[in-house]
Amino acid sequence: MATQRRVDELFDAGNYKRAFFLYRNELAPLGDKYAQYMVGYMYLSGKGIDEDYVAASAWYRLAAERGTREFIAVRDQLTRNLTDEQIFRSDALYSKLRREYCDLVILLSFIKRDVSELQIKTGTRVNSRSSPILIVETRIGRVRTGFDYYSGIRDKLEDRLRLLKEVGDFQDLEIDPDHVNVHELERRVEARLSFGE
């Protein structure tokens, strides 16, 4: 939220190059659909970056991924004004952007990070209420037991698996964090991305 406020202030102040950089490199990779829309808008208007209708179209398509009416409307309006050659180039760029920044890819990256974090826990009592480790989160000034820390990660992982099941329309996806098969998730996401091309 702090980055979003800062980039909006930069944009409003006319510091378009810096705003574009933050939208493109800090917020859009997190799946922030408004930031993805703003990258498209800045390409369309030539603010902070050279005007490029093809790039604008591809970013608008990515921003519209969740079905937000306003993003769909600008995407469709711009697409109607592109030539066949521009649409072909927009398709190629959109396909590339999807493989980096669509919701499925971002969710998968968070799931993989959570699984990795859970795999590095050590000690024989991590799954018990008494924990041999303490986690000090200096950024937010909190100290937690290893049990609480890893339970939080496990809960987030379960939520992300549930969301991946919904977003990817993976009806039979196992959402139990103890049974995550990362390679199977990668295969499913890749199949869904390939199907959408």
**49-71: per-residue pLDDT in tens?**
999 999 999 999 999 999 999 99
State the Cα–Cα distance between residues 99 and 66, nearest whole angstrom.
16
H runs (alpha helix) in 64-181: 69-80, 84-101, 103-119, 146-167
The pLDDT score that the predictor gives to residue 126 is: 42
Helix (H) or strand (E) holding 126: none
Query: Is the CB of residue 40 less than 8 Å from the CB of residue 57?
Result: yes
Question: DSSP class of residue 180?
Answer: -
Q: What average pLDDT is seen over the chain?
A: 90
Residues 6+ apart with CB under 8 A from 195: none
**Are the CB atoms for 129 and 147 separated by under 8 Å?**
yes
pTM attached to this predicted model: 0.82
| Rg of the chain in Å (alpha carbons) | 20
Mean pLDDT of 31-37: 96
What proportion of the chain, given as a percentage, has pLDDT over 90? Answer: 76
Q: 138 - beta bridge partners?
A: none
- b/e code 123-142 from CB counts within 10 Å (16+ = b): eeebeeeebeeeeeeeeeee
Q: What's the pLDDT at 123?
A: 47
All domains of the chain, ordered by start, with CATH?
2-100 (1.25.40.10), 103-195 (no CATH)
pLDDT for position 143: 82
Q: How far is CA 14 from CA 9, 20, 46, 49, 175, in A?
A: 9, 11, 12, 13, 45
User: Above 50 in pLDDT, residue 102?
Assistant: yes
Burial of 57 (0-12, 13-18, 19+ CB in 10 A): buried
Q: What is the dihedral of CA 51, 54, 59, 65, to 10 degrees?
A: 150
Taking only the tens place, the pLDDT of each residue in 68-88 is 999 999 999 999 999 999 999
User: Is pLDDT of 34 > 80?
Assistant: yes
Q: pLDDT (tens digit, 9 = 90+) per residue, 119-175? A: 876 544 444 445 567 777 787 888 877 788 889 999 999 999 999 999 999 999 989
List the beta bridge partners of residue 137: 142
